[in-house]
Structure 1
Amino acid sequence: MIMNSVQVMPMIVSLGVCVVLPIVIVALSQKHKLESEKNRKDIILAALEKNSNINVEELVRKMNKPDKLIKEKLLRKFQWGILTSIIGVGFVVLSSIMGYAGGFITDNIQFLGISGAVLLAIGVAFLLTYFYGKKMLSKEMEAEEKNMQQGNL
């Protein structure tokens, strides 16, 4: 069985997208992370050479990018929960309307309904994570907010 170039080309493209592209993305992100760490190390060493009395812990703390606050992470989950829930409900309603109206391919209606149900379930999971996380992490969020206020004063 001999394949011609019309059959081989989609295979090459799909292999490139599914195999090579993710590997290249991971390699580039790791390279960027290593370069960033090397630059931070060089800055700390230069600061120590110029001033040996410097507090290294404070310098490292100031150089570190602050991670997202717990509140920001929870709000992101809330945002994604609302978004995926709305899209899921829209898909389910659309598949119901298509089924009621008739004249559409049954497979498409089923795919749309199942996709909507999955998106709705994911949205509900995000929303539950937000509400339970907000409840469980309230003390940590307050402490984090106090630390941020003390750091800004």
Structure 2
Amino acid sequence: MSTIADPKAPRASRPGPSRRTTRGNFELYGWVFMRASGVVLIVLVFGHLFVNLIQGEGISAIDFGFVAGKWASPFWQVWDLLMLWLAMLHGTNGVRTIINDYAEKDATRLVLKLALYVATVVVIVLGTLVIFTFDPCPPNSPTSLLPSFCTA
């Protein structure tokens, strides 16, 4: 007959150096960041939804021109950039915590976290580039390819 371990019993420590001593206060800072970024993200997301869906003409008005007009303002560029960065960092920190909790082998944990960090950096870099280099009316483009609001 086999017995099931007590779920409230502390887990056996992993061999090797203690993870608690190598991290210092990083977990505390991660916990505080999750709470603070969550509050800021609520404001950013609901502000985004209000401006895009309620204040205007609803979802039918959101198109290329709407985004182009919105990102013509540095205020909305910074707003969307903050939303992108905070959402990505908040999500990455959450998934990092899940990986630390459930990945048993150090090699598995390393590979998963490496893939997570690479994906995060790629999305943040590409998103930032799109926000700041977006030009709906690129110079020297054929007028047939330009949106109707661009002057030739």
Q: TM-score, normalised by structure 2?
A: 0.30
| Greater helix content | 1
Larger Rg: 1
